[in-house]
Amino acid sequence: MFSEMFSYAFMVRATIAILLISPLFGMVGTMIVQKRMAYFSDALGHSALTGIAAGVIMGIANTTISMIIFGICFALLLNYISRKGLSSSDTLISVFASCATALGLAILSRGGSFSNYSAILVGDILSITVAEIVQLIALFAVILVFWCISINRLTAISIHATLAKSRSISVRVMEDAFAVLIALLVMLSIKWVGILLINALLILPAASSRNISENFREYTYFSIVFSVFSGVCGLFVSYFTDMATGPMIVIIASVIYFATYIYGKK
């Protein structure tokens, strides 16, 4: 059964992609949950539409590039807003996100042709190409290096706000770098995860892990385990049942979340 499955090149590519990206989601997700940035990553996901629209307007054939550039600018802007420390920064972020989404939708639906882009809403992991896998490997390496270098400082920042403030310059750089990384991760994976579900995949494993973890080490490990497990399991189930992959992964991740929630309550 499995040997048949891997005789399809697209399944091999999809599996490799899942194995590359799901640990990253698990890892980065812990920090997003920890720093309460769920709004942030959601806004970023939606801004992918605007990035594509910008690319289309400027006549860039490869919209991935315009998506990444726009995503990075948007991430830095959102960071700037939340750094201002306004009480309403959550609201501001969602206003920006809605505005960006609306702009993207408006542009892409000119002449009623949004249908050409609707695939990006749900994503399609089976269409992933070898070149995109190479991009993912590069991203994997970058995030891993960043993680090893800066995880301690990032954690410190998220735990001790005052401590963090006292070293404000390096903190700012660190936070911006992290935001750029999230933007890269979101933009490079959105094509096959889909705008509607990408945030769920970022948040759920980390949130599940948080339900049962007592320290950071556990938190990170469990999050990665949950993420990879949901990814692989979701891909296989979707392969055999012929249902979309992204939603299947999210369903499994949600089951894990509820189970850990109940366990954690005890």
Cα–Cα distance for residue pair 195/188, rounded to 1 Å: 12
Closer CB to Zn ion, residue 96 or residue 114? 114
Query: Minimal distance in Å, beta carbon 260 to another protein?
Result: 8
* Binds 96: which of another protein, Zn ion, none (CB < 5-8 Å by kind): none
Closer CB to another protein, residue 34 or residue 109? 109
Query: Minimal distance in Å, beta carbon 115 to Zn ion?
Result: 4
DSSP 114: G
- What is the DSSP code string of 52-75? HHHHHHHT-S-HHHHHHHHHHHHH
Give every CB contact of residue 22 below 8 A, 6+ residues apart in sequence: 201, 227, 228, 230, 231, 232
Does residue 6 interact with another protein by CB under 8 A?
A: no
Cα–Cα distance for residue pair 185/74, rounded to 1 Å: 14
Cα–Cα distance for residue pair 159/24, rounded to 1 Å: 22
Q: What are 250's two structure tokens?
A: 């999210």
Cα–Cα distance for residue pair 103/111, rounded to 1 Å: 15
CB 179 within 8 A of CB 47: no
Does residue 8 interact with another protein by CB under 8 A?
A: yes
Using the contact rule CB under 8 A, the part of the chain among 18-26, 80-88, 120-128, 144-152 near another protein is: 120-128
Does residue 115 interact with Zn ion by CB under 5 A?
A: yes
* Binds 114: which of Zn ion, another protein, none (CB < 5-8 Å by kind): another protein
The footprint of another protein on residues 230-249 (CB under 8 A) is 233, 236-242, 244-245
The footprint of another protein on residues 80-109 (CB under 8 A) is 109
| Interface residue list for Zn ion (CB under 5 A) | 115
| Interface residue list for another protein (CB under 8 A) | 7-10, 109, 112-116, 118-119, 122, 124, 126-127, 129, 212, 218, 222, 225, 229, 233, 236-242, 244-245, 252, 255-256, 259-260, 263
